[in-house]
Structure 1
Amino acid sequence: MKNITSYQGKNILVLGLGKSGYETAKLLHVLGANVTVNDGKDVSLTNEAKELEALEIKVVSGHHPIELLGDIDLIVKNPGIPYHIPFIQEAIARNIQIITEVELAYEINEGKIIGITGTNGKTTVTSLIGDMFKHSNQTGLLCGNIGFVASLVAQNAKSEDTLITELSSFQLMGIRHFKPHIALITNIYSAHLDYHGTQDEYVSAKLNIVKNQTAEDYLIFNYKQKELLNNFEIESQIIYFSTEEKVNGSYIVDGKIYFQNEFIIDVDEVVLPGKHNLENILSSIAAAKLSDIPNESIIATLKSFEGIKHRLQFVMTHENVKYFNDSKATNTLATTFALDAFHSPIHWLCGGLDRGNGFEDLDEHVSNVKHMYIFGQTTEKLKAFAESHHIPYSICDDVKDAVLQTKGNTVAGDTVLLSPACASWDQYPTYEVRGEDFIQHVKLLQ
């Protein structure tokens, strides 16, 4: 990693002792900072807190005392902590700069960065690009929102390596110098309004990914949403992807995929299912080609990559009923893709955290839904949705209860689909835990 000195002797507060907070505190300690860690939950007895205290890093937990801000030069904030909490508002009032951990990853990284963001598809795209690198002679290291702490990965990366970094809007709000050589935005739809407040703020957070790019860098963008770029100054070279027309970038003509007039592969040879995944594939191809990944490596991925866990993941067939785990569908757009993927009668498991949005986006996508199994904070909204569409429904305690209730309702040829259209945090710590709960109880049906 780069030997940077800008943090030596600085008083830095790491806010949130999750995986990224833990690694951030250790990194800043190595870089010579005076580090304090603060978490609103009581983490005093955790192994992480004890290990940090052994390094003489102060850990304050259980609340956010304002006096911690007294001599702080910088806050490195967990992305999930909203800016509207009083502690952060007081820090802003005191003009204390707030960044997220991906900024540190950029500052110490020796090689190039591909940054991937978007409302839907970013984990699939990050994984696709990583697989294309894996089939080549280049090293691509997955990190960021995909589950590997970016600053930890960057510490071990070499100058010839590429960080393939999945980025959330929450992370991108906390950057100052962060600059990916290739920025990729899969799409931007309505999401996270409970955090950002307005759609304009959400779009601005996503477009932060390009704010430091120069003419030597690239932005890969969805052509059907190009108007979103009109309000932003883009210095980088824009490469589009489109499933509908020929563009400067990746596109499909007569069932064949091209990148800038170069034939890559027939659509029929691609393994990854779903029409929505064609956009993910096209954007991934663009990133790979701009990174000088050879065609044979790209093709090898597209002929073998079947998808990621919790995204339209086939679980099993029981009594001729197929079960699919789409727990990663944390918004309505992702669920439309899932509902449209099946022609069989669907038993739809849905619900979760209420972020204030409605479900009218799903109106045109429920013709195959035979029964709804509703759980979580959005129960009343989804109950009203079911009634307005004359869909039978069951009110369930949680995913486990929903799975159990499907057993008496399904017949051979049906599909059981967990695609919640909501975040998991009202009942589960992550969508992965929610998906594993589904998988576990589906397998118990045998």
Structure 2
Amino acid sequence: MKTLEAFPYSNILVLGLAKSGTAAAKVLLKNNKYVRINDGKAIQSNDQIEELKEMGAEVIIGSHPFSVLDDIQIVVKNPGIPYDNPIVAEAEKRNIPVITEIEIAGLLTKGPIIGITGSNGKTTTTTLITEMLKCSQKPVKVAGNIGKVATDIAQTTDEDETMVIELSSFQLQGIKNFKPNIAVLLNIYEAHLDYHKTFENYKAAKFNIFKSQTKNDYLVYNADDPTIIEAIHNADSIKIPFSRKKQLREGVWIDEQYVYFKNERVMSRKDIVLVGEHNLENILAAIAAAKLNGATNSGIYQVLTTFQGVKHRLQFVDTINNRTFYNDSKATNILATQKALGAFKNSIILLAGGLDRGNEFHDLLPFLKKVKGMVVFGQTADKLAGIAKEAQIPIVVKTENVQMAVKEAYEISAPADTILLSPACASWDQYKTFEERGDMFIQAVHTLR
């Protein structure tokens, strides 16, 4: 069993269970720490809670009394719990540090860590890096916001294995000393303001990814993003830029014919099968991180000539009567939908809508020129219908959900059209996750057959 040698706290509050809280609690208990668990939504008969009690945890569920902080030295917070939560706010008043489970994962990991963050493209880039290393016969494991709890994966990672971690702003806001050996910053765009309250807070959380890096670490960054360029001046790490707009003799770049790592020609551009200009940025970032970690050009080539995208991120689903269907359910903000719309040259039927977070969607207007029809659903249906009217889109249909939207989209489409689910909204008004929403889309497409 791996031990938490550099974790100097004895009494810990785990606030919020779910996957990350449960994983953190188990590791702490195995390391003979006193662990108190507080979760307002859990139920007494939960098998998971019974297991934690048997391991020695004190469990307080159903409410959040301030007394849960008594004698506590540090709080391990579920990333989804906001910082204005009363217990978190009280902990900060008492000068009790608040961290997320990623901090513990970093202490457990003895091998190299590649951390990836950005407003969009994290999952695609994380997957590309992982596959490039695998195809280069480099031992690697993947974790983090991609769906696998980093603390769980860290316990099984050997010193010669690289851990590739997708990192959200929620996770990064709660780190103190965690640092990846290679940090990847993809892009920064206003997002999750319901959680972070201001864009400045959101940026600060994202930029935590390099705050503890040293001169022996690498920071792979988007040289086309002015917000990132301004932020990285204070980074101590070795800076490796990537760009799809300009030549970079010290970074990764692309011209009309080839992809380059510094002055080395890596592969032909025409052999890349992943669609979308925005995905070129993800590809360049992945090449930089993978090459710095020892990936071979042949391994990179093998991935980029076969990889067509991760599930729910511009995922090709099917072609039916010369209509092509793409599932981009992971597009939970406007920027992601902008990038998806820019990925196609032919006419588009756009399916969009979901949780209303106060956005007015005017930033979509310049990207709707190829959209000949929109099918809208969810809480934001009326707002998006208004934007479609403003963009003079000839056909706009309002429907109840994604499943019905697929049928409506097919009926208003013509041969050679792309039917694209790219909601520009979170899914929680109708679906538990964006994955569930995407699966409903896929199922409805297959039903058309």
TM-score by length of structure 2 reads 0.95
2:377 is aligned to 375
**2:140–2:162 Cα contact (<8 Å) kept:** yes
- Deviation of 1:294 after TM superposition, in Å, equals 1.8
**Number of paired residues?**
446
**1:403–1:441 Cα contact (<8 Å) kept:** yes
- Deviation of 1:7 after TM superposition, in Å, equals 5.1
Moved more, 336-345 or 133-142: 336-345
| Residue segments in structure 1 that go unaligned for 5+ positions in a row | none
**1:7–1:31 Cα contact (<8 Å) kept:** no
Q: Secondary structure at the match of 1:317?
A: strand
| Residue segments in structure 2 that go unaligned for 5+ positions in a row | none
Write the mapping of 1:146-165 to structure 2, written as runs, cut at 5 A. 146-165=146-165
What amino acid maps onto 2:283 in structure 1?
I
Structure 2 CA distance for aligned equivalents of residues 320 and 431 of structure 1: 27
Structure 2 CA distance for aligned equivalents of residues 109 and 9 of structure 1: 18
**1:117–1:184 Cα contact (<8 Å) kept:** yes
What amino acid maps onto 2:177 in structure 1?
H
What whole-Å deviation, never above 9, does each CA across 1:353-376 have from its counterpart, x for those lacking one?
222233122111112222222122
- Deviation of 1:62 after TM superposition, in Å, equals 2.5
1:410 is aligned to 413
Give the 3 Å change call, closer, same or farther, for CA 254–418 of structure 1 in structure 2.
Answer: closer
Give the 3 Å change call, closer, same or farther, for CA 97–307 of structure 1 in structure 2.
Answer: same
What whole-Å deviation, never above 9, does each CA across 1:105-143 have from its counterpart, x for those lacking one?
001111110010001111111000100111122111100
1:340 is aligned to 342
Structure 1 CA distance for aligned equivalents of residues 6 and 203 of structure 2: 31
Does residue 434 of structure 1 match 2:437? yes
What whole-Å deviation, never above 9, does each CA across 1:330-374 have from its counterpart, x for those lacking one?
111111122122233322111112222331221111122222221
1:13 is aligned to 13
Does residue 250 of structure 1 match 2:278? no
Structure 2 CA distance for aligned equivalents of residues 407 and 45 of structure 1: 46
1:180 is aligned to 180
What amino acid maps onto 1:366 in structure 2?
L
Structure 2 CA distance for aligned equivalents of residues 230 and 407 of structure 1: 45
Write the mapping of 1:190-339 to structure 2, written as runs, cut at 5 A. 190-226=190-226, 228-231=228-231, 233-247=234-248, 248-339=250-341
**1:345–1:414 Cα contact (<8 Å) kept:** yes
Structure 2 CA distance for aligned equivalents of residues 17 and 393 of structure 1: 42
RMSD of aligned Cα (Å): 1.7
1:30 is aligned to 30
Give the 3 Å change call, closer, same or farther, for CA 183–6 of structure 1 in structure 2.
Answer: closer
Does residue 388 of structure 1 match 2:363? no
1:132 is aligned to 132
**2:9–2:73 Cα contact (<8 Å) kept:** no
Q: Secondary structure at the match of 2:35?
A: strand
2:402 is aligned to 399
- Deviation of 1:410 after TM superposition, in Å, equals 2.8
**1:16–1:38 Cα contact (<8 Å) kept:** yes
**2:256–2:269 Cα contact (<8 Å) kept:** no
**1:224–1:242 Cα contact (<8 Å) kept:** yes
- Deviation of 1:403 after TM superposition, in Å, equals 2.1
Does residue 422 of structure 1 match 2:425? yes
1:78 is aligned to 78
What amino acid maps onto 1:239 in structure 2?
I
- Deviation of 1:47 after TM superposition, in Å, equals 2.6
What whole-Å deviation, never above 9, does each CA across 1:7-43 have from its counterpart, x for those lacking one?
5772211112211111111111011111122222133
Give the 3 Å change call, closer, same or farther, for CA 138–37 of structure 1 in structure 2.
Answer: same
Moved more, 378-387 or 201-210: 378-387
Moved more, 267-276 or 349-358: 349-358
